[in-house]
Amino acid sequence: AQSVAQPEDQVNVAEGNPLTVKCTYSVSGNPYLFWYVQYPNRGLQFLLKYITGDNLVKGSYGFEAEFNKSQTSFHLKKPSALVSDSALYFCAVRVGAEGYNNNDMRFGAGTRLTVKP
């Protein structure tokens, strides 16, 4: 079974500073990793994913994430935070394997990012 941990409930950064939202995972097999963002009273919005290839993946709104297999991590980053980035961020994992039909994407508990002006 797969699982995801987001060790920080809350991350606070000043506008213009770099931000990191942490995620570690546990999965048997090759992971498919995802980041989603949730704004108040809205559904989750897909940001980026890692399936295979380059460990650094780029996504929407200037976000990027780095897959680190040895540390089983997939931290979300942005070089310069905006106040509008304030939201709830979820990391998710599913098993990615040829012929494997596991559709149970597991989500972390979420990290609330607050960017202050």
Q: Give the residue among 85, 83, 87 at the shortest CA–CA distance from 39.
A: 87
How many other CB atoms are there within 10 angstroms of residue 51's CB atom? 12
Which window, 17-25, 45-53, 64-72, 76-84, contacts other proteins (CB under 8 A)?
A: 45-53
DSSP percent split of the chain into helix, strand, coil, nearest 5: 5, 50, 45
Nearer to other proteins, 43 or 117 (CB): 43
Pick 99 or 117: Cβ nearer other proteins: 99
31 forms part of the interface with other proteins (CB under 8 A): no
- Partnered with residue 75 across adjacent β-strands are 66
Note the residues at the interface with other proteins (CB under 8 A).
Answer: 4, 32, 34, 36, 41-46, 48-49, 51, 90, 92, 94, 96, 101, 103-110
